[in-house]
Amino acid sequence: MSRDYLYGTGLMMEQQEDLYHFNSDTVFLASFMDIKHSDSVLDVGCAQGALLLYASVFRPSSLTGIDLFEEVIDACGHNLQLNHIDAQLTVTPVQKHEGQYTVILCNPPFFETENPDLINENPVIAAARHASYLPLEDLFSSVKRLLKDNGRFYLVHRASEAQKILLTADRYGLHARRMRFAYESIHGNAKSVVMEFRFRKAADCVIEPCAYLDDRDTFKPKGGSV
């Protein structure tokens, strides 16, 4: 087990080796999301709790995390307790979850893998990495059902999937209001994208200044430390 501090905060996590660890995409999404005190927050696929901890810095009215595995929820609960944060945690797929939220967060599985031999033997890691466990269609149909009319959905994904994400979101009445790309370096191609979706379509989508993964100061999380 490793003990890691969440960049830009005074929070720390104990991460079990056989469970999914937070990474630069987690921090990138945390730097992009904007949460108010009145918000009710749902983290879809909460893993060991990194995004819930980042969300807690904003002191929202409630925090909820869901994941597919009991051991993941136990690890998440441990990390929240370690930092004296209260949240409702449930073992359930998002397709079956019930509730209404003003903010939904998700760092979904990215990778399309048709060959089952290439899927990680650890079911927890496999579910966190492979898109077959949470297809974009399922994610956006669930967000449409769970998000309040005035809510925001924050997503991080591969930059190369941006067009597919926008088209999928549009089919469920969700429209990008803000977007930001992250690059490996100033000379590289975009690696990741973060997006904010809402039900009401805006005249324009704001493309925010790019971030660089080799310079974390370009995507320092908001909200300060707790």
pTM of the shown model: 0.90
Q: Is the pLDDT of residue 37 over 90?
A: yes
pLDDT digits (tens, 9 = 90+) for 63-114: 999 999 999 999 999 999 999 999 999 999 999 999 999 999 999 875 565 5
pLDDT band of residue 226 (cuts 50, 70, 90) is very low
Strands 101-106 and 40-44: parallel
pLDDT digits (tens, 9 = 90+) for 112-165: 655 454 455 555 555 555 456 789 999 999 999 999 999 999 999 999 999 999
Within 10 angstroms of residue 95's Cβ, the number of other Cβ atoms is 11
Give residue 118's pLDDT: 45
Give residue 4's pLDDT: 85
Q: Which residue, among 52, 29, 42, 62, has the nearest Cα to 147 in the 3D structure?
A: 42
| Out of 19-23, 121-125, 190-194, least confident range | 121-125
* CA angle, 112 then 118 then 120, to 5°: 95
157: which residues sit within 8 A by CB, 6+ positions away?
108, 110, 165, 192, 193, 195
Average pLDDT, the chain: 88
Amino acid occupying residue 153: F
Give residue 179's pLDDT: 97
Mapped onto helix, strand or coil, the DSSP state of residue 18 is: coil
For the chain, which residues make up each domain, given as ranges? 2-219
- Partners of 197 in the β-ladder: 153, 176
Domain 2-219 CATH class label? alpha beta
DSSP-assigned letter for residue 154: E
Could you give the CA distance from residue 167 to residue 133 in angstroms, rounded to a whole number? 20
Give residue 18's pLDDT: 75
Q: 95 with 117: CB under 8 angstroms?
A: no
From its phi and psi, is residue 190 left (phi > 0), alpha (psi between -120 and 50) or beta?
beta
Burial class (CB in 10 A: 0-12, 13-18, 19+), 161: middle
